[in-house]
Structure 1
């Protein structure tokens, strides 16, 4: 080899260890040499990317060469043109007389970018390479379009040789054993003196001093088992960057580019402009670990699915069925604890579901959709329901023998550092994690909600990301195509409830407050009283938990037309608006089948069970939440309905006394409307609105009622007869199209 520093000594070792001569192309990788400031620099470039693919520069770390980055380059190659240079003194590149410091390496990188003719490529820099990359971005703000910093060194809390050696030894236990061969070869090639001098330069260069000057979007990536780059340091790096976000690969170590190239490529590809990783990516979280077990959409889905299987819903079906009775008993025991302890149990329970913000890149909405359709028996159905959630819809699905697929699901996100009374801080903290999530899931819209009234206890540990499908996706499309024959009906559930939001992006809005008994204007006035700093709303959007995003309607209509299905729509103004109609439908259906219809079962939020309602001959009335407007709605229903002999009523315990919750006395008065017997079901009215034991007692007490033979399934033609007979004045407006 020719060039500075190539005469004798280590230059002969380099000649033996490295391929020399003309550029070579092998396994989709081509070698290129470029003259840069008197030194010949080598780079490996992938050749498999399609025309017009984005340019990405991969930058190696301390002592190694471009060879170390090749596993990642190959993973990125189908979608990016990856260039992997050897910095001066390493790999094929010429050796300058003395080891360059971090600024010197940054200058060499910038000069190589210019000589190679690259225009604002993305940068993916590893370990010490991240220090070089950040220094280059500070020197030339327009050199790179965006950047990924993998395992960025050096943690300022361990900036000394002894600490770094100790951390390297600990993290080495988790590395790919084959990495030792690459390290030995590259370190021998560059020479111990150069490697040690470069390490000393890296220790002396404080990365944090440059971060605040970086103007482009930056993704910081850390392995969860990396002892060199701590979680605290990675978070600090991401937070110091003006446009930074953090992704963590659980269980992975420091050398992600070599030891975990597939998961790393899946995590960074969407950020770099590549396609989303999809539900089969190596990083994808299990669907059951990506949703809340105690959310309206999840419970309504499970309620409909278990009814179609002929089963009830012990412990909300949130645990394996054999454990249901044990969990219900344990929840009952919690009621005996002091109030502060019960509240802490609530916080811990909700917080245990939360996904760490830095792992949102691994959440797949399509994987969640696969989980949803897997809950149902694979058989032919005359009708399927898709769209907004409502407990009343679970009962409609059970009556028709129809699957229900929700458009929305709740992704609980860990957020330990934001006060529940700081909605603006909550919104800001969610922006970076939201970008990770949406990069990986372009088919959804994100509604980030913050409700310091009803969700105070939950907000101490988590925040609410609600995802609405804007496209059907493969899992929903496949399930519907497989189970609905030609001539079947596809029913769109369209809750038209809307809410003021702050628009943060094309797919991202922030919603302050939620539809649980307090309208938006009251939330705003309450914020002035409580001193909440609320971001101003600039538009209205479908309400996060319940509203239907019409973007999904186009896919539903197109699929129905292509498959020869009848497309119908049921539109309602709020989630519980369907409840009077469904209660009357059940009563009509029971009487039509010659069954008694004298017990009204008033359910509450997550406390519902369609199978047991049918098995006990109960007329179900689902109440959205135990608040004053809901109590008023039940009272209006009782005013117009024929009297019931028996009324059983349960109340979902929110855990705190928020401003809208109706007291137990208000509900007890409604029980007095029964001709013969009215009683609370599964709750201790003296403990309400606290008392998590209700989650266990509700199912046990409902299951203990005498059983009856369920009626023959309701047909669509019978549903049409009922709708024709029922007048619009019988309840809240519900439009069937």
Structure 2
């Protein structure tokens, strides 16, 4: 009888926990996704913090587990991305350098202000202020895609804050025509997600290696799709500015003023920022080491994190201490 009573107590407790979980998910369905992000962050050895810089609240992942005097590495995500995109690379750099990985203002968990400018120029100023507030010294600045354009502008316009810069599949130059670029110039958002078909199209566009594409099971897929629907107007406004507005080529123009040691990394099969962009940036940054990866698309930092981490280490260690 005692064992039956214990079994009933355990059953009631489990039912209560399930009801509580269901209530929490009903109030905040995105908790399923944020919970997995937390798992990924912890696996990468990262903590999470927030800071108010100017008008925006920044949320960022970080690790201070590094030798004394180790360089500080700041990583910027791309359009429709978030800090979590960098976790595979961070996992391979953790313990070697101090790491700071923010959600850019307007994206992820960081603040968004209605009507604010989230283009290349404004974001580069915000990044410089963020570096001052969080790192307090010159940093190694890495940027992917849109974040690469922001990183290029930041390095050129705020050289005291950036000692070295790495641009990965970076936006901000007039690359050879591809379907993605043609859609952007036509006023469309090729990354827009509104249903299962467009979600699959989005993943197929940014990933070349099927084995690295994230698996998004039910009901997470519906939760993600709904969030992207709500963000559609914001995404379009940002893309209008950085993809076909007057400042769309500002990063490439500013790249000629970058004097710091630099690294340019591209994937041969990038269907978003065509490989021709590597040569354009390279002409304006002759000091930059060039890294070309094969078998990956736009998401090099997820598809080939080992190779990306090694390229970052080469950038940081080249000539260091001499």
Same fold by TM (over 0.5)?
Answer: yes
Tell me which of 159, 163, 173 is aligned to 1:141.
Answer: 159
Question: Structure 1 residue 29: deviation in Å?
Answer: 0.8
Question: Structure 1 residue 94: deviation in Å?
Answer: 1.1
User: Are 2:262 and 1:262 equivalent residues in the alignment?
Assistant: no
Contact 2:75 2:142 in 1 (8 A): yes
Residues 53 and 187 of structure 1: is their aligned pair in 2 closer, same or farther, counting only changes over 3 Å?
A: farther
Question: Structure 1 residue 15: deviation in Å?
Answer: 7.4
Residues 180 and 124 of structure 1: is their aligned pair in 2 closer, same or farther, counting only changes over 3 Å?
A: farther
The answer for the alignment partner of 1:719 in structure 2 is none
The answer for the alignment partner of 1:369 in structure 2 is none
Tell me which of 28, 42, 58 is aligned to 1:26.
Answer: 42
TM-score normalized with structure 2 length: 0.71
- SS of corresponding position for 1:108: helix
The answer for the alignment partner of 2:6 in structure 1 is none
Contact 2:206 2:299 in 1 (8 A): no
Q: Determine the C-alpha separation between the residues in 2 that align with 1:217 and 1:104.
A: 24
Tell me which of 128, 139, 146 is aligned to 1:128.
Answer: 146
- SS of corresponding position for 1:114: helix
Contact 1:60 1:66 in 2 (8 A): yes
Question: Structure 1 residue 186: deviation in Å?
Answer: 9.5
- SS of corresponding position for 1:266: helix
Residues 213 and 243 of structure 1: is their aligned pair in 2 closer, same or farther, counting only changes over 3 Å?
A: same
- SS of corresponding position for 1:253: coil
Question: Structure 1 residue 231: deviation in Å?
Answer: 3.0
Q: Determine the C-alpha separation between the residues in 1 that align with 2:53 and 2:277.
A: 34
Q: Which runs of 5+ in 1 are unaligned?
A: 1-11, 20-24, 274-438, 443-505, 507-737
User: Are 2:190 and 1:153 equivalent residues in the alignment?
Assistant: no
The answer for the alignment partner of 1:191 in structure 2 is 231
Please identify, of 183-192 and 119-128, the stretch whose mean Cα deviation from structure 2 is larger: 183-192
The answer for the alignment partner of 2:109 in structure 1 is 92
* Cα offsets for 1:225-247 (capped at 9, x unmatched): 21223332211211212522311
Question: Structure 1 residue 248: deviation in Å?
Answer: 0.6
Question: Structure 1 residue 126: deviation in Å?
Answer: 0.4
- SS of corresponding position for 1:264: helix
Q: Determine the C-alpha separation between the residues in 2 that align with 1:35 and 1:258.
A: 29
Residues 212 and 38 of structure 1: is their aligned pair in 2 closer, same or farther, counting only changes over 3 Å?
A: same
Residues 191 and 179 of structure 1: is their aligned pair in 2 closer, same or farther, counting only changes over 3 Å?
A: farther
Residues 60 and 15 of structure 1: is their aligned pair in 2 closer, same or farther, counting only changes over 3 Å?
A: same
The answer for the alignment partner of 1:224 in structure 2 is 268
User: Are 2:213 and 1:177 equivalent residues in the alignment?
Assistant: yes
Q: Determine the C-alpha separation between the residues in 1 that align with 2:300 and 2:46.
A: 20
User: Are 2:282 and 1:208 equivalent residues in the alignment?
Assistant: no
Q: Determine the C-alpha separation between the residues in 2 that align with 1:263 and 1:187.
A: 34
Residues 248 and 242 of structure 1: is their aligned pair in 2 closer, same or farther, counting only changes over 3 Å?
A: closer
- SS of corresponding position for 2:263: strand
- SS of corresponding position for 1:199: helix
Count of residue correspondences: 262
Residues 216 and 174 of structure 1: is their aligned pair in 2 closer, same or farther, counting only changes over 3 Å?
A: same
* Cα offsets for 1:485-527 (capped at 9, x unmatched): xxxxxxxxxxxxxxxxxxxxx9xxxxxxxxxxxxxxxxxxxxx
Tell me which of 46, 49, 53 is aligned to 1:36.
Answer: 53
After superposition, residues 150-549 of structure 1 pair within 5 angstroms as: 150-156=168-174, 157-158=176-177, 159-162=181-184, 165=190, 170=205, 172-174=207-209, 176-178=212-214, 185=224, 188=227, 191-203=231-243, 204=245, 205-206=248-249, 207-273=251-317, 439=318
- SS of corresponding position for 2:162: coil
TM-score normalized with structure 1 length: 0.33
Residues 121 and 179 of structure 1: is their aligned pair in 2 closer, same or farther, counting only changes over 3 Å?
A: farther
Q: Which runs of 5+ in 2 are unaligned?
A: 1-27, 36-40, 192-200
Q: Determine the C-alpha separation between the residues in 1 that align with 2:128 and 2:29.
A: 28
Contact 1:155 1:228 in 2 (8 A): no
Tell me which of 72, 76, 93 is aligned to 1:76.
Answer: 93
Q: Determine the C-alpha separation between the residues in 2 that align with 1:153 and 1:80.
A: 26
Please identify, of 240-249 and 78-87, the stretch whose mean Cα deviation from structure 2 is larger: 240-249
Structure whose alpha-carbon radius of gyration is higher: 1
- SS of corresponding position for 1:106: helix
- RCO (CA 8 Å, sep 6+): is it higher in 1 or 2? 2
Question: Structure 1 residue 153: deviation in Å?
Answer: 1.6
- SS of corresponding position for 1:146: strand
